[in-house]
Amino acid sequence: MRLDKFLKVSRLIKRRTVAKDVSEQGRVWINGREAKPSSTVKVGDELKIGFGQKYITVRVERIAETTRKDEASELYTLLKEEAREREDLF
């Protein structure tokens, strides 16, 4: 599944266009490598996503084309949440 679609379906990012923009800005990594919106996400991959003042790292547990809001968090496991370094903010 495409990275931008997974981020939207899992509700890590609310809209696919925002997920695409975040990926294009170099704020998403798959297994330690910078990812494009069209990068393929597979079960077991670790995603690191830069949000404002923090990074989150999640492991992909399941892939689904669609999901209900209450089931979206079952697609991933939160591994780590950390504050961004000051120099990373600019």
Question: Counting every residue, how long is the chain?
Answer: 90
Q: Per-residue pLDDT tens, the chain, 90 aa: give them.
A: 999 999 999 999 999 999 999 999 999 999 999 999 999 999 999 999 998 889 999 999 999 999 999 999 999 999 999 997 765 544
> For position 77, which CATH number holds?
3.10.290.10
CB 23 within 8 A of CB 41: no
Domain with 58 in it: 3-89
Burial class (CB in 10 A: 0-12, 13-18, 19+), 78: exposed
**DSSP secondary structure letters along 7-48:** HHHTTSSS-HHHHHHHHHTT-EEETTEE--TT-B--TT-EEE
Give the number of domains in the chain.
1
CA distance 69 to 5: 15
